[in-house]
Amino acid sequence: MTTATTADSQVQARDAVAGILWMVLAVFIFIGMDALAKWQAERYHVAQLVFFRSTFGLFVVLPFLLHGTGLRAKLKSRRLGLHFVRAAVGTISLFAFFLAYQKLALADVIALSFISPLLMTALSVPLLGETVGWRRWTAIGVGFLGVLVMVQPGGGLFSAYALLPLAGAFTYALVGVTIRVLSRTEEPATIVFFFGLFSSVTACLFLPFVWVTPADLTDWAGQIGIGLIGGLAQLAMTTAFRRAPVSVVSPFEYTGIVWGVAIGFAFWGELPSLAVWAGCGLVVGSGLYILHREASLARRG
């Protein structure tokens, strides 16, 4: 092995470690945002929280839009229709998840949301024309079995409210598919901006009917924090995917269940049932296998 090859390998190893650390940080921040949303949703309407999440998230991404070629150049797009679809579906996902945090335990929502990568793989066939072999279809089937284990009677999640995180996961998977297409020509900051703008305007339509002025500075900070923290988490996750391949960093999204259980127990005394743990294990295992399979195919290619 030459010196140059050794140096390249060391750089790749450092980038992989950095990407993993950024992903773990991003997931931790996202769970913090979810916990804030759950806390505030106990006393405020979900639409109001979506407004704060979207509006103050824009403040975080704005410096990245102004950097380099400037705001006007980055907002010029020939794919406004697809931006609209991505923003609309993303807003529905945001509403579904925030409402789910109001009705269900934090860790239970996170566990059910892990079905999203499996749905994204399945949707890539009809929407993107990608090929999915029988091994990955089997993994997707096992993942759906895991969801059935979690929501079965006696499984701890057997209620109509379990449909909320599943709807959020489905729409989030649609978001992932549209982002795959948009990212071929659009910058990440541009995609995030159009989503934040649409989501903020949509939430504004509800505000005259649901607005409740935050009771004190703590609630103001909590609702503003939902937006700022969500924006920071998006940037951290973007950095993670920039530093290392998707197949390296994506499995660490599953650390969310650790943070979710810890925060849920510390603040609400919530613990998932055995059925939820078992079903979550099936979903996570299926997702990890699909990531492994995609990495193997990429190496062969």
Sequence spans of domains, the chain: 14-300
For 89-112, give the secondary structure using H, E and C.
Answer: HHHHHHHHHHHHHHHCCHHHHHHH
Out of 31-40, 82-91, 134-143, least confident range: 134-143
Summary mean pLDDT of the chain: 85
Quick one: which of 299, 246, 253, 297 has its CA closest to 130? 297
Between CA 252 and CA 111 the distance in angstroms is 14
| Average confidence (pLDDT) over 63-85 | 79
Q: Is the pLDDT of residue 51 over 70?
A: yes
**In this predicted structure, what is the pLDDT of residue 70?**
67
Q: What are 112's two structure tokens?
A: 């059910």
For 185-229, the pLDDT digits (tens) are: 887 778 888 888 999 999 999 999 999 999 999 999 999 999 999
- Residue 292: other Cβ atoms inside 10 A: 13
pLDDT at residue number 9: 61
> What is the pLDDT, as a whole number, of residue 62?
84
Q: What is the pLDDT of residues 285-295, one digit of tens each?
A: 888 888 777 77
Q: How confident is the model at residue 154 (pLDDT cuts 50, 70, 90)?
A: low
State the DSSP code for 32. H
* pLDDT the model gives residue 212: 95
Q: Quick one: average pLDDT of 262-276?
A: 90
With contact defined as beta carbons under 8 Å apart, do 286 and 118 qualify? yes
> pLDDT at position 123, please?
85
Q: Rounded to two decimals, what is the model's pTM?
A: 0.85
DSSP string for residues in 240-296: HHHHS-HHHHGGGGGGHHHHHHHHHHHHH-----HHHHHHHHHHHHHHHHHHHHHHH
pLDDT for res 234: 81
Contact 106, 38 (CB under 8 A): yes
- Of residues 150 and 98, the one with the higher pLDDT is 98
Which pLDDT belongs to residue 255?
Answer: 86
- Is 182 in contact with 82 (CB distance < 8 Å)? yes
- Cα–Cα dist 228/81, whole Å: 27
* Residue 136 pLDDT: 82
Report whether 136 contacts 121 (CB < 8 A): yes
8-12, 96-100, 270-274, range with the lowest pLDDT? 8-12
Q: pLDDT at position 155, please?
A: 60
Q: Pick from 60, 21, 28, 65: which is nearest to 243 by CA?
A: 21
Residue 4 has pLDDT above 60, yes or no: no
Helical H runs in the chain?
3-41, 46-66, 71-75, 80-103, 106-113, 116-128, 134-151, 163-182, 188-210, 217-243, 246-249, 256-268, 274-300
Is pLDDT above 60 for 278?
yes
Taking each helix axis from N to C terminus, what angle separates 274-300 and 134-151, rounded to the nearest 10 degrees?
170
Extract long-range pairs of 69-73: CB within 8 Å, 24+ residues apart: none
